[in-house]
Amino acid sequence: MAIGGGETMAETTPINVEIVRLSDKPNPKLLFIPTASGDSRSYYQSVSEHFLSLGCESVEPLYLLDDDMTAEQARDAVLQCDVVYVGGGNTLRMMNIWLRYNLPEVFDEARQRGIVLSGLSAGSICWFRYGNSDAHKFTSGSNKLIKVSGLGYIEALHCPHYDIEVHRQADLERMMRQTPRLVAVALDNGVAIEVVDEQYRIITNGGGGKARRAYWYRGAYVLEEIPADDAWRPLRPFFSKSHRLARA
């Protein structure tokens, strides 16, 4: 479950309810990974309170900036939970830190075990092949957006915060011109794409946010709204530029 963004946990409640349901457990154990936010303790408190209120048995943090953490401990934490939820922040830094702990391999194993993988902003970019990232904002204060590599579970480029961070819109057009092989998934705040068994659907918080597919095709930039009607659709045609989506 990849969420385009949200200013508060409550803003994405309907999506988070679905994340809990996906675990197939009445009271799942959730692991929160706040690497992108620099292991923010206050962020963890917000996530913990929210998901406990949705029925999770426990919400534990995985702090990877802690020098005492080992790769084996990180692996155990991921594989012993029912749901992984990755928080927002600096995507580039997060991906680099994850490599130190061999987390890409661990997440591969988690997928095979049926553990739910989810997250917001940086925590949604990570599941895609690439992401439209504001990582430089956290280091230099620059608004320049960059293409960051993710884990590639969804073979597309992802742009979060498409509605509220309007500078991403023109930049996505530029970035996709330089990424001709792929389509992009652009999500507004309060909107998520859910992928299960090679099918997908769009879920929203009911606030009017949208999901869009973006790509260059025969010299023109195409931006299509992805229907958000709860219907499951096959994922493979979604990646084909010649495939036209049903009208939203």
Return the pLDDT at 140. Answer: 62
Return the pLDDT at 108. Answer: 98
CA neighbor of 118 nearest in space, from 228, 19, 29 = 19
Least confident of 25-34, 63-72, 131-140, 152-161: 131-140
CA atoms of 26 and 134, how far apart (whole Å): 37
Starting at the edge strand that comes first in sequence, how are the strands of the sheet with 220-226 ordered? 146-149, 128-133, 154-159, 184-187, 211-217, 220-226
**What per-residue string of b and e applies to 26-59 under the rule 16 or more CB within 10 Å gives b?**
eebbbbbbbbbbebbeebbeebbebbeebebeeb
Return the pLDDT at 162. Answer: 97
Instruction: Report the predicted TM-score, pTM, of the whole model to 2 decimal places.
Output: 0.95
Asked if pLDDT for residue 138 goes beyond 80, the answer is: no
Return the pLDDT at 93. Answer: 95
Give the H or E element holding residue 14: helix 13-22
Asked if pLDDT for residue 208 goes beyond 60, the answer is: yes
First to last CA, the chain: 20
Return the pLDDT at 30. Answer: 99
Asked if pLDDT for residue 135 goes beyond 80, the answer is: no
Return the pLDDT at 227. Answer: 95
Asked if pLDDT for residue 56 goes beyond 90, the answer is: yes
Return the pLDDT at 81. Answer: 99
Q: Please compute the mean of the pLDDT values over residues 123-132 and round it to a whole number.
A: 98
User: Which band of pLDDT confidence, cut at 50, 70 and 90, is reported for residue 243?
Assistant: confident
Asked if pLDDT for residue 21 goes beyond 80, the answer is: yes
Asked if pLDDT for residue 63 goes beyond 80, the answer is: yes
Asked if pLDDT for residue 88 goes beyond 90, the answer is: yes
**What per-residue string of b and e applies to 177-208 under the rule 16 or more CB within 10 Å gives b?**
eebeebbbbbbbbbbbbbbeeeebbbbbbeee
Task: List domains and CATH numbers for the chain.
Answer: 2-238 (3.40.50.880)
pLDDT digits (tens, 9 = 90+) for 117-126: 999 999 999 9
* SS3 state at 58: strand
The DSSP bridge partners found for residue 41 are none
Q: Please compute the mean of the pLDDT values over residues 204-209 and round it to a whole number.
A: 96
Return the pLDDT at 141. Answer: 67
